[in-house]
Amino acid sequence: MSETIYDLIIIGGGPAGLTAGIYASREGMSALVLEKGMCGGQVAITGLVENYPGFPDGINGMELIKKFKAQAQRFGVKISELTQVKSLQPLDGKIKVETDKQKYLARTIIITAGALPKRLDIPGEKELTGKGVSYCATCDGPLFRNKDVAIVGGGNAALEEALFLAKFAKKVILIHRRNELRGAKILQDQLQKMKNVEFFLNYNLVSINGETCVDSIVAKEKQTGKQKTIKVQGVFIYIGFLPNSLALKGIIDLDNEGYVKTDEKMKTSMPGVYAAGDIRSKDIRQISTACGDGTIAALSVREYLKP
């Protein structure tokens, strides 16, 4: 076990975690970020971020994360990438963090491990992510102004994003594997009135095609097995998210979908443990909201550690 007792260990190196680290270190706290991969999360695979303040021409997601990381390190935040957290355990008024490399002790924890969109796992999806394949219309929709796009999914999130995309896109093709949509009727009614929205119900998306960017998709009708190639420049996938909370089950309170429950100060059910960003149970998940969560969590930790 590391002999160092950190004031704060942050689990996750995305926008929420790095922001929390910046605020904590500027408050004089010793902070360590543990990231299972490389810092950045979903932002790092986003080709162009246009809705984060301060970059009027947009910025590449990886470049944005490099700036977050450099700023955190400038203030003294230690970052350990490729470090998988396995468990948290209270220990003599502190919290023991066990990873696949070693064990650490901290006075407080902020969990910012994020959430991953569920994948279709079809040909072309992985290869073209960030090159026309997206999991966030709010983030990337305006990039597809006057272009044809497809949305996969039939729940509220898919329908809400289809309505959003219809403001920019030339055509929105909504593909759902069932013969009826699952989202709220008011959203369905609004979409039915949109002249540039086309429905492919009872279809599965079987491939996404393109060399350097998306240029078409193949959808398969479930009843007949007939396949149809459709020209599109973007594909937005909305079949749900998976919070990275498996190691937290039974340790802190989670909601029915596995997201961490917090109060408005980002406190969880375990004393000294906070959560911020996409792993937190909430409605809106954006870079800016993750940063806001990280800020609140770090300042809440400051208050918690006051003598």
Catalytic residues: 136, 139-140
Sign of the Cα pseudo-torsion (277, 283, 288, 292, in order): negative
CA–CA gap between residue 239 and residue 236 (Å, rounded): 10
Decide: 279 and 113 in contact? Cβ < 8 Å. yes
Kindly give the pairing relationship between strand 171-176 and strand 148-152: parallel
Question: Residue 260 has what DSSP assignment?
Answer: B
Decide: 236 and 151 in contact? Cβ < 8 Å. yes
Residue 221 CA to its chain's centroid (Å):
31
Identify the burial level of 82 via C-beta atoms within 10 angstroms of its C-beta, where 0-12 means exposed, 13-18 middle and 19 or more buried.
exposed
Length of the chain in terms of residues written: 307
